[in-house]
Structure 1
Amino acid sequence: MNNIFLRFYLILFAGIFQLFSSQAAVTDLSDGTLKINSNEDLPVKIFASQRTDSLANQAFRNIPNELIILNEDNIKAESAEGLASIQNILESFKANKFQFLDKDLKPVEPVFEQKNIENFKYLLKSDKVLKAADHVELETEFNIWDPMKGIPLGPVTLHFYSLMFIFAFGLGYVIMARIFKIDHVEEKYLEPLFTWTLIGTILGARLGHVIFYQPELFKEDFLSVFLPISTRGGLHFTGFAGLASHGATIALIFTTLYYSFRIIKKNPFWVYDRIGIVVALGGAFVRMGNFFNSEIIGKPVDPASPFAILFPQQSSEYGVTIPRYPSQLFEAVGYFCLFVLLWFLYRKTDKKYQQGWLFGLFFIILWAIRFFVEFLKEPQGGEFITVGGLNTGQVLSIPFMIAGFLIMIYSKKFKLPKEQA
């Protein structure tokens, strides 16, 4: 077992070294090539931004062979005033001889009605005029991640982030049901565990984000702390956004204590050992949801790096839109591997009889993954908790890792006979 952990940490160290060594300087334009009819190459400078002012200024920079990637916020109007602003910006690009292209890099008539604006995907400033018959492809050293954010269902959209949460809790329920069956626990105890886990995760994650990253919301937009709305600039629906795993963990500790003492009447560590397995898998799905949303992105990276990804839909809070690390995927892969490890130890070893051991290991590895990936991530909101160059996420992870070590040490006192597990 020790050899397995040694190999794991050696592989982790090698990966981190490669990631750090591939970082490069920041710029606001990226290089690409338009392949036209397979026989003509047009080098282009790629620009993308969620910021309205940055996009508007780009119309006047007069950069030869510039390709602008539009995102949802550039073309989707929330009000009549928003539509007028978008139309004015697009008029500026039209006046400065930009070509309007759709998602397939085909020319689109620059008519600025909302239904037509939604077809715009690229703006090209070049002496080369593209025609409808041209076959055009965009090639880059890096990957471009620019998907739809959800599945349209009539008047509403099922966002992939929400879908990942559904998968996380749905699979978690199925796996926990399997665990209860293996441990000969009555099924009636499963529903309240699911309920309290759901409450603790959502409420704790939201409060954790606001407390640790956006405390100003308590004064400036109190309703948005608890409801999927915002009152800034008028009342509008935002969906639930801004969740912190540290807050979810703290809340889950307390809700699970209540469940352990008042409902299932078992040692809380017995429950923590098993809930850690499904939480690891759930964390992987949540980070996949962040990836779909182009949020919690990584720091700038050399475009030639195999990890480099451009997120045209990234929030303006992260700065310029250039190739970055897909830090969401790093965490997702790490959490999934943790799930596999915990499931293996639960099924194939006697560690589940040492109450708290699996949970301690879960804490150590999960927060170690978070700690190391934070080196490659952009800050989330206001980083007001910093120590010795470590950011808020890292500082908050350290106590959890220490707690994991202590729990593993003290778990020797909570061994169960196999017939009582």
Structure 2
Amino acid sequence: MMAAIPFPDISSEIVSFSLFGTEFALRWYAMAYVVSLALGWWLVVKSLRHPELWPDDTPPMTRGQADDLLTWVIVGVILGGRLGYVLFYQPAYYLAHPAEILMVWEGGMSFHGGFLGVMLACVIYWRRHDIPVLTGADALAAVTPVGMLLGRLANFVNAELWGRPTDLPWGVIFPGAAAQDCPLVTGLCARHPSQLYEALLEGALLLALLMWLAWRRGAFKYPGLITGLFIMGYGLARFAVEFVRQPDAQFVSPGNPLGLAWHVSGYGLTMGQILSIPMIALGLFLVLRARRAGRA
């Protein structure tokens, strides 16, 4: 019998209650959004209190502007994340069921869409208030891995977005359909805990790197450097983890068991990898641009 780790008995609901005959529940994923936004905002405000971190010893925005920007970020991440999932992963389904597009409580959010939504919302806000776009983006990029860390941990608790089958000793036997597809351990299927891989790479390690560079190595002094490192770092981490992450069901078929969104003769890329390539390229461009500007 191969070694594997049973999924811990954790409810997806933190607390639930009934009010006037209607059931309400606070779920881990919602809590991850709330805590990451609050903690990210606190870290941004803390960095703005240290003018010496920024170009010309001038923070990119005031405390009041940071407070206002939080609202724009919330709208951008929700609308962008949902519309990104609809357009990138299940356009045919939602074209046939348009009323379900706004049902975010049913699940289905895309990081790449949320990233685009936040960037668009922030650029509009920064342009309206004459805030330097790259420096403002650096302030947000430095703290964004907080959301990645907490969001991926919530994915694990919810037993969703699990990895491909594995016989490695740290494979996890997730509940439900995830355990039925490939009998490896006493009739059940152990899978890569890809959510934890992403929490470590996209979240904890990337956050530690960006915080160290921003607070100890003066990276905020080079507009676009932190933003570029975040975008490139996320893209590389996501591209790597996609090799062991179970693809979305809509891409899997008898002729495409690996769930590749683009493939030739069985080799290709998943949708997550395709969407990560432009991020890696953009991040590298911003890093090189910031370094050239710093040497000028």
Query: Does TM-score exceed 0.5, indicating one fold?
Result: yes
8 Å CA contact 1:327, 1:377 repeated in 2: yes
Q: Structure 2 unaligned runs (5+)?
A: 19-23, 52-58, 183-187, 252-259
Cα 1:297–1:219 change in 2 (3 A) is same
| TM, length-normalised to structure 2 | 0.83
> Cα deviation per residue 1:350-371 (whole Å; 9 max; x = unaligned)?
2211101111111111110000
Residue deviations 1:140-182 (CA, integer Å, cap 9, x gap): 6433234211123322221111111111111111111112222
Listed as ranges, the matches of 1:21-420 within 5 Å are 141-155=4-18, 156-183=24-51, 184=59, 185-228=61-104, 239-263=105-129, 265-302=130-167, 305-313=168-176, 319=181, 322-334=189-201, 335-383=203-251, 385-387=261-263, 388-412=267-291, 414-415=293-294
Partners of 1:215 and 1:315 in 2: how far apart?
A: 24
Paired residues of 2:165 and 2:190 also in contact (CA < 8 A): yes
Q: What does residue 11 of structure 1 align with?
A: none
**Residues 208/381 of structure 1: CA separation in 2 closer, same or farther (3 Å cut):** farther
Residues in 2 aligned to 1:174 and 1:189: alpha-carbon distance in whole angstroms: 13
Q: SS at 2:49's partner residue?
A: helix
Q: TM-score, normalised by structure 1?
A: 0.59
The question of whether the paired residues in 1 share the 8 Å contact of 2:164 and 2:191 is answered with: yes
Asked if the contact 2:4–2:173 (Cα under 8 Å) also holds between the matched residues in 1, the reply is no
The change in CA–CA distance for 1:272 and 1:224 in structure 2 (over 3 A counts) is: same
Q: Which has the higher helix share?
A: 2
Where 1:249 maps in the other structure, the secondary structure is: helix
| Contact in 2 for aligned 1:146/1:312 (Cα 8 Å) | no
Letter in 1 for 2:120: F
Secondary structure class of the residue paired with 1:389: strand
What SS does the corresponding residue of 2:243 show, helix, strand or coil? helix
CA distance in 1, matches of 2:177, 2:41: 32
RMSD: 2.3
Q: Deviations over 1:113-135 (max 9, x none)?
A: xxxxxxxxxxxxxxxxxxxxxxx
Q: Which residue of structure 2 lines up, in the alignment, with residue 106 of structure 1? A: none
2:225–2:290 CA contact under 8 A, matched in 1 = yes
Q: In structure 2, how many angstroms separate the alpha carbons of the residues matched to 1:253 and 1:195? A: 13
Contact 1:202/1:248, CA 8 A, preserved across alignment: yes
Question: Identity across aligned pairs (percent)?
Answer: 26
User: Greater relative contact order: 1 or 2 (C-alpha under 8 angstroms, separation 6 or more)?
Assistant: 2
Match of 1:118 in 2: none
Q: 1:255 to 1:319 in 2, by over 3 A?
A: farther
